[in-house]
Amino acid sequence: VVVTLPVAVFILAGFLRTLPGELYEAAELDGAGPWAAFRRVAIPLSRPSLAATAIFLFVMHWNDLLYPLLFIDDPAKRTLPLALLDFTGEYLTDYPLLFTGVVVASTPMVVAYALLQRHFVAGITAGAVKG
């Protein structure tokens, strides 16, 4: 989590900077304080960026090989990318078994994208501010 937190902050901060200031001004005129404006304006409008960040970070964590390779000693606690290394050898690689494992390993990522795609693709601030 510590490794990918800066990536999430970078993506979300970049998106929140693109929100028009007029939306916050309108919320302030309606009597909302800074936290209420953030909760009622910024969070609902940032659903697509939150979904994109969630998908991106999920893929990064799901495919992580370096840290599990360095820190996991117990074969019972190995991750999928580590288990896929068993199908490759120095002189022989079992490609059908390796590709089957890759398809099985990529299925949760495809399902996560399918569930979050409407948020991922949605245009959020179109028409929010005229002019």
Rounded CA separation 131/125 (Å): 13
pLDDT tens sequence across 22-61: 888 888 888 888 899 889 888 888 887 888 788 888 888 8
| DSSP class of 117 | H
Question: Taking residues 8-31, what's their average pLDDT?
Answer: 87
Q: Is 53 exposed, middle or buried (0-12, 13-18, 19+ CB in 10 A)?
A: buried
Rounded CA separation 80/75 (Å): 11
Residue type, 112: A
Question: Taking residues 111-122, what's their average pLDDT?
Answer: 73
